[in-house]
Structure 1
């Protein structure tokens, strides 16, 4: 008697079907699942660019304007100017520096994104267009890597698309399209993590080194990679790769040396963070108390207070995620999240934690896993996150503070 075929044929998961040589590649040949993810990415890019265009028409800087601003004008906000000034003029133009009155503390920003911006600007003359192009290409790489990480963790081919959907519709997803560091960091960090899962330690270390040049979060990634190596490396051949794990430290070491040669201060990066963004050390409970007062103490305008409330909520989400990762013995990812929360939660008050959630890939894969068990999770998430994301996008694109 012939065996009937299943009603829903399931495509084989790539990591099971592929030979060992292919599994060790950081990016195997794109398959149908990857094309679905890229199509979703393009659709969300179209949505965010449409929002930016409408913002330019509806909320011009001059309320009496008869002509809309250029398409790229809404994207030139806040940190973008720091990256632009570094890429165009360097860190210490005309012998200016921390000793100069009105200094902008630009050395607080790592050189990876400004260097990429300067390189792309050699081909794309418009600075804002160059920044947008970097984020566009980097975002595509990042979502492909995230989808593959999700498919490695979960046995369902739908997992990758869902993880990417949760990321791209997250409340702070506008920063993946802006000329900011989030997309570029993810384009380096996620393939690094993917390479580590496939025991390709030289590739993982090289990508993590580049990630360390983009955001300080790269150091936390390097720590997670080291712990993953300790927990998974077996055999003499694997242990010979251990020296590669020192490579990510090269980027912060070189940048620290450069700042020392110009300022005489080995801690110039940290001191710039303290001067410009109140990131001097405070106990975690003090940081929580200061942020709570800004959020609910009626000492800030309502718009700012709402942003501080978002900071508190993001911290709570991070703490829940950390507990879940520890309980499930996913210790390398827990180390990455824990170090990130410690760094963000020990300043005077919380700053940019909602943006940092974009970099928490265990959050997006965890939501994908949850939604596969409970399909209503995806619908609920979309209904809540989509309007929040639109609100944050409009806040950022109109030049209001969005952290």
Structure 2
């Protein structure tokens, strides 16, 4: 008789769900067409950086938004491309392998919190915008560093936590929020001061990346300037961001649908933050709260639902609730699963889905 293994359960849920998703979306198209359909939006931008660097494709107008993407994903993508000729296939493989690492770590983290690991994984892979865990985006790769980093911190392995968090900081600016949360976790757990220098390590990739672009452009905050130039993401008061997003969401036509998703994502974000504060999960609240603050003080809400994929405390909390009340995961799957399929179809058709 097999003993229960959180890692095995996580891999079964992850690989099974990805196989089903890929098979469903493969029907009716050739393999070449299929790979091209996955090269949408940011996936194509990551390929551009991996292939040509931050100056973009030679002979074309430079994309001012490229420095907004941290180098971790393009570097890994370029390495995989050495053995996988198709860029889109390389992106899918990176996300598949990184996702497997992330899901195993998520299951183990949930088990450490007294919840069912497979429930946390299932909640994540069925989230409405979980397509971005499969596409050649940076979410899976970030989680493959961030969740093991947090797991190591909870086990008081601070050297490993710091190095893994540094890896996360190479992939997304979200690594900065993870680094801040690790400081709070370090203080909360009463660690000896001699271990504190490790907490500096996750900030080093941001410093190196900023210096790199300073040598190119003279701008220490080139990644922030790229957000403003490429997407108009300037700092505004939160009520102004809400008003602009609400007006766009209440409009008519196809353009309104993504903004309605953003509104829903904001509601979930606030609820998750309040939940963590009520539970006095201070370090997780810092990780979630800093992201929520950054996203909800932008000129308008953009990619807020997608950012929820990175909130591993949310998935652990849902797993804890589902462990005590099994019907929760059933209702969640019935509501969220169809939305995930719908958004996957939207993404592959070229519509903005997250």
Choose from 45, 49, 59 the match for 1:86: 49
Residue by residue, what CA displacement relative to the aligned partner does 1:239-259 show, whole Å, maximum 9, x if unpaired? 211101000111010010010
- Give the conservation status (yes or no) of the 8 Å contact 2:66–2:226: yes
Q: Note the C-alpha offset of 1:375.
A: 2.0
Aligned with 1:359: secondary structure? Answer: coil
Moved more, 340-349 or 302-311: 302-311
Aligned with 1:71: secondary structure? Answer: helix
Query: Are the structure 2 counterparts of residues 102 and 240 from structure 1 closer, same or farther at C-alpha, using a change threshold of 3 Å?
Result: closer
Cα distance in 2, alignment partners of residues 52 and 113 from structure 1: 24
- Give the conservation status (yes or no) of the 8 Å contact 2:67–2:223: yes
Q: Which residue number corresponds to residue 384 of structure 1?
A: 335
Cα distance in 1, alignment partners of residues 301 and 348 from structure 2: 22
Query: Are the structure 2 counterparts of residues 199 and 263 from structure 1 closer, same or farther at C-alpha, using a change threshold of 3 Å?
Result: same
Residue by residue, what CA displacement relative to the aligned partner does 1:341-364 show, whole Å, maximum 9, x if unpaired? 011111110000111111111111
Residues 3-402 of structure 1 correspond to what in structure 2 (within 5 A)? 32-54=5-27, 57=29, 69-92=32-55, 103-154=63-114, 156=115, 159-234=116-191, 238-296=192-250, 298=251, 301-402=252-353
Query: Are the structure 2 counterparts of residues 220 and 77 from structure 1 closer, same or farther at C-alpha, using a change threshold of 3 Å?
Result: same
Cα distance in 1, alignment partners of residues 277 and 131 from structure 2: 30
Cα distance in 2, alignment partners of residues 270 and 32 from structure 1: 42
Task: Tell me the matched-pair count.
Answer: 354
Residue by residue, what CA displacement relative to the aligned partner does 1:93-134 show, whole Å, maximum 9, x if unpaired? 5899xxx95634211111110011111111222211111111
Q: List gaps (5 residues or longer) in structure 1.
A: 1-8, 12-30, 58-66
- Give the conservation status (yes or no) of the 8 Å contact 2:6–2:108: no
For normalisation by structure 2, the TM-score amounts to 0.96
Q: Which residue number corresponds to residue 20 of structure 1?
A: none
- Give the conservation status (yes or no) of the 8 Å contact 1:52–1:74: no
Q: Note the C-alpha offset of 1:304.
A: 2.1
Cα distance in 2, alignment partners of residues 232 and 251 from structure 1: 25
Cα distance in 2, alignment partners of residues 69 and 94 from structure 1: 22
Aligned with 2:202: secondary structure? Answer: helix
Moved more, 35-44 or 179-188: 35-44
